[in-house]
């Protein structure tokens, strides 16, 4: 039997039952059947190293024993509760553990299941707290795809089909990567937050490092100054730490690198140790903009505070502490950055290697990143492209990665970059590779590269 056959069969079956927009099936992707730590196995029995942490979720690795143990125990007792009416007891335990880690003396949270849920909660909270519905977001931002969050997500690919349903009170400003750009953006923010019309601005939402835009790091001090400017004018700073938070960048929150304490923080991805769990967290004085529940909460959902997810979240928080994952992310990340900077020095197709902790990106010229991702996959390393044109190879591996695994993965990556650089130098009349469709790149851009003959 061909090694690809199980994947092709699953792809064929999926195409008959799932909306065609969802999973890109040509060629058939690896269908995951098992994962542990940084290793994944697919339906054909092939093994991979996962340097994506599955969208950054598996920061504590796939199936961390402390997470699995808590899930099992909870599943043996209570699988579903009534989150805001008869709450599962474990919700209290999880919220106590989470809020104790946050930078405010008295933190309050609203739980959700997805990152978008947390962003929706933060945007609503900011409006209640300031009375001002306007929002400033950044070009390149990704805050989720539900309608409220989508209004603050910048990429056209996601917005265009629904643009008439998106709130019009969101202003986009450039995301700076140099100090000069930072100064210009701060002036623009000042101007927009100061305007009373047409819709006054109550919040600025920012990813401390833009993830899906291609691991874009703002200049040092920018976030701190942004916080000052925003607060001077009575607005709130929302840090979307869904990707960067819970240790990924080598500090609990990426805002910590700049000494910034945001007014609201959105968490997700890693928080549930692999289970769907997110939170909008803030100091009591901001979160208390919500009225006390009268028995009919004005912001809740059926699965809020899901007991198995909360139990998994407790397992994740325990793993974070017991395995010293934050310090591990800082150490492994700087080893990786150092290694890549040396190994890739002088390579023409590499524009920049950057990032913090275990959130790294290698930006390539031309179509190099897409080729690199595909080449790496063929050699057992899972990567994702990021950036507006899918031009960045994004690395967000689990922090439980061993040094041997790190070394092995980086060796595959460097070889893949070299191979894609050689392919880049082929004569222009030879086929151009098509970036994988699950890239977070803009599809309209990706379609320009499409040449099915190369797949
Ligand atoms: C910074 C950021 N915010 C929000 C989201 C949306 O999270 P979700 O896909 O869980 O709704 C993402 C997802 O990638 C993200 O990276």
Cβ atoms of 125 and 282 within 8 Å: the answer is yes
SS3 145: coil
Regarding the beta carbon of 144 and ligand 1, being less than 6 Å apart is answered: yes
Ligand 1 and 115: CB distance under 6 A:
yes
Q: Is it true that the peptide bond before 27 is cis, omega within 30 degrees of 0?
A: yes
Residue 334: strand, helix, or coil: helix
pLDDT band at residue 56, thresholds of 50, 70 and 90?
Answer: very high
Please tell me whether residues 158 and 307 are part of one structural domain: yes
**H or E element that contains 48:** strand 47-50
One domain, residues 136 and 240: yes
Q: Is the peptide bond before 198 cis (omega within 30 degrees of 0)?
A: yes
Query: Residue 81 above 60 pLDDT?
Result: yes
At 255, the pLDDT band (50, 70, 90 cuts) reads very high
pLDDT at 445 over 50: no
Instruction: State residue 342's pLDDT score.
Output: 96
pLDDT tens across 171-228, in order? 999 999 999 999 999 999 999 998 887 899 999 999 999 999 999 999 999 999 999 9
Q: What is the pLDDT of residue 194?
A: 85
Largest CA distance in the chain: 69
Beta bridge pairs of residue 265: 239, 281
- Would you say the CB of residue 143 lies under 6 angstroms from ligand 1? yes
String of DSSP letters for 224-268: HHHHHHHHHTT-EEEEE-TTTTTTTTSSSSGGGGGT---SEEEE-
135 and 49 share one domain: no
75 and 190 housed in the same domain: yes
Q: How far is the CA of 12 from the centre of ligand 1 (A)?
A: 29
Q: What is the pLDDT of residues 316-344, one digit of tens each?
A: 999 999 999 999 999 999 999 999 999 99
Is pLDDT at 454 greater than 50 in this prediction? no
Q: How far is the CA of 124 from the centre of ligand 1 (A)?
A: 17
Supply the CATH number for residue 155's domain.
3.40.640.10
The domain boundary, picked from 283, 298, 322, lies at 322
Model's pTM, two decimal places? 0.93
What CATH number corresponds to the domain at position 394? 3.90.1150.10
The answer to whether residues 87 and 187 belong to one domain is: yes
For residues 329-345, b (16+ Cβ closer than 10 Å) or e, as one string?
Answer: bbbbbeebbebbeebbe
Dump pLDDT digits (tens) for 346-399: 998 999 999 999 999 999 988 889 999 999 999 999 999 999 999 999 999 999
Chain CA centroid to CA 435, Å: 20
- Cα 414 to ligand 1 centroid, rounded to whole Å: 28
CB of 120 sitting under 6 A from ligand 1: no
354-365 burial string, b = 16+ CB within 10 Å, else e?
Answer: bbbbbbbbbbbe
Question: What pLDDT, in 10s, does the model give residues 129-184?
Answer: 999 999 999 999 999 999 999 999 999 999 999 999 998 899 999 999 999 999 99
Where does a domain end: 276, 297, 322? 322
Closest residue to atom 4 of ligand 1, CA basis: 143
Q: Are residues 55 and 92 in the same domain?
A: no
Could you report the per-residue pLDDT of 86-110, keeping only the tens digit for each? 999 999 999 999 999 999 999 999 9
C-alpha dist (Å) from residue 313 to 125, 127, 364: 23, 28, 36
From the CB of 316, is ligand 1 less than 6 Å away?
A: no
Q: In this structure, are 351 and 255 located in the same domain? A: no
d(CA 265, CA 118): 9
Q: Which residues face 203 on adjacent strands?
A: 135, 236
266 forms beta bridges with 240, 280
Q: Half-sphere exposure of residue 359, counting CA atoms within 13 Å on the CB side?
A: 32
Percent of the chain surpassing pLDDT 90:
87
**Which pLDDT score is estimated for 453?**
26
| Number of Cβ atoms within 10 Å of the Cβ of 196 | 8
The answer to whether the CB of 248 is under 6 A from ligand 1 is: no
On whether both 36 and 160 belong to a single domain, the answer is: no
Fill in the DSSP letter of residue 71.
H
pLDDT score at 368: 87
- 343 lies in which domain range? 5-60+324-454
Among 322, 346, 365, residue at a domain's last position: 322
Q: 83 C-alpha to center of ligand 1: Å? A: 23
Q: Count the Cβ atoms, other than its own, within 10 Å of residue 75.
A: 12
Whose C-alpha lies nearest to ligand 1, atom 16?
243
Long-range contacts from 156-163, C-beta under 8 angstroms, 24+ separation:
156/442, 156/444, 157/442, 157/443, 157/444
Contact 148, 174 (CB under 8 A): no
Q: What is the pLDDT of residue 439?
A: 40
Look up tokens 């004018």; give the residue.
233
Compute the distance from residue 71 Cα to the ligand 1 centre, in Å: 23
Same domain, 157 and 211: yes
Q: Which residues of 271-295 are buried (b: 16+ CB within 10 A; e: fewer)?
A: bbbbbbbbbbbbbeebbebbeeeee
CA of 291 to the centre of ligand 1 (A): 27
Q: What's the pLDDT at 177? A: 97
Between the CA of 241 and the centroid of ligand 1 the distance, in Å, is 9
Is-contact 309 272, C-beta < 8 A?
Answer: yes
Asked if residues 256 and 244 have their Cβ atoms less than 8 Å apart, the reply is no
Containing H/E element for 33? strand 32-36
| 307 in Cβ contact with 88 (< 8 Å) | yes
> Are 177 and 294 in a shared domain?
yes
Question: Which mutation among 143, 208, 392 tests ligand 1's pocket best, with the greatest number of atoms within 8 A of CB?
Answer: 143
pLDDT tens-digit series, residues 259-301? 999 999 999 999 999 999 999 999 999 999 999 999 999 999 9
- Both structure tokens of 231: 């607060």
Atom of ligand 1 nearest to the CA of 212: 16
Domain count, the chain: 2
Give the three-class secondary structure for 54. Answer: helix
Residue 308 CA to residue 230 CA, distance in Å, equals 38
**Is the beta carbon of 272 within 6 A of some atom in ligand 1?**
no
Residue 277 alpha carbon to ligand 1 centre in Å: 12
State the pLDDT at residue 436: 43
Task: Name the pLDDT band for 424 (thresholds 50, 70, 90).
Answer: low
**Residue among 205, 269, 361, 438 to mutate when testing ligand 1 (max atoms within 8 A of CB):** 269
Output the CA torsion sign for 59, 122, 142, 336: negative
- The model's confidence at residue 422, banded by pLDDT at 50, 70 and 90, is confident
Together in a domain, 174 and 222: yes
Q: What are the tokens at 158?
A: 């996601």
User: 116 and 236 share a domain?
Assistant: yes
Find all residues with CB under 8 Å of 288, minimum gap 6, and list them. 108
User: How much distance in Å is there from the Cα of 371 to the middle of ligand 1?
Assistant: 25
Residue 63's pLDDT band (cuts 50, 70, 90): very high
């Amino acid at each position: 039997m061909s090694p690809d056959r199980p994947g092709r069969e699953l792809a064929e079956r999926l195409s008959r039952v799932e909306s065609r927009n969802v999973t890109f099936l040509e060629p058939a992707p690896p269908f995951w059947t098992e994962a542990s730590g940084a290793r994944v196995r697919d339906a054909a029995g092939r093994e991979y190293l996962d340097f994506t942490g599955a969208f950054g979720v598996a920061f504590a690795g796939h199936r961390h024993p402390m997470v699995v143990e808590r899930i099992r125990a909870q599943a043996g007792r209570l699988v579903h509760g009534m989150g805001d009416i008869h709450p599962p007891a474990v919700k209290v335990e999880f919220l106590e553990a989470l809020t104790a880690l946050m930078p405010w003396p008295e933190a309050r949270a609203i739980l959700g299941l997805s990152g978008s849920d947390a962003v929706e909660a933060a945007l609503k909270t900011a409006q209640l707290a300031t009375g001002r519905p306007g929002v400033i977001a950044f070009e390149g931002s990704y805050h989720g795809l539900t309608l409220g969050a989508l209004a603050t997500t910048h990429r056209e690919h996601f917005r265009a089909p629904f643009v008439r349903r998106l709130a019009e009170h969101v202003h986009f400003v450039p995301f700076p990567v140099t100090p000069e750009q930072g100064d210009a953006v701060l002036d623009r923010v000042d101007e927009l937050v100061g305007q009373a019309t047409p819709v006054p601005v109550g919040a600025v939402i920012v990813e401390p490092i833009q993830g899906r835009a291609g691991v874009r790091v703002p200049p040092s001090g920018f976030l701190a100054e942004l916080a000052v400017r925003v607060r001077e004018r009575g607005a709130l700073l929302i840090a979307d730490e869904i990707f960067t938070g819970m240790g990924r960048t080598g500090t609990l929150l990426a805002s910590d690198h700049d000494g910034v304490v945001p007014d609201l923080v959105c968490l997700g991805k890693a928080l549930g140790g692999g289970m769907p769990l997110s939170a909008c967290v803030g100091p009591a004085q901001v979160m208390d903009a919500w009225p006390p529940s009268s028995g009919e909460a004005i912001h809740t959902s059926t699965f809020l505070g899901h007991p198995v997810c909360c139990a998994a979240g407790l397992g994740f928080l325990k793993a974070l502490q017991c395995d010293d994952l934050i310090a591990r992310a800082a150490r492994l990340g700087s080893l990786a950055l150092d290694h890549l900077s040396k190994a890739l020095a002088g390579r023409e197709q590499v524009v920049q290697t950057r990032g913090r902790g275990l959130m790294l990106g290698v930006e390539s010229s031309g179509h190099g990143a897409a080729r690199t991702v595909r080449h790496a996959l063929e050699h057992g390393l899972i990567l994702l492209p990021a950036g507006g044109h899918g031009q960045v190879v994004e690395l967000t591996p689990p922090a439980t990665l061993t040094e041997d695994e790190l070394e092995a993965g980086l060796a595959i990556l460097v070889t893949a970059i070299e191979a894609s650089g050689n392919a880049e130098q082929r004569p222009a009349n030879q086929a151009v590779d098509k970036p994988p469709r699950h890239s977070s790149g803009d599809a309209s851009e990706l379609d320009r590269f499409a040449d099915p003959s190369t797949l």
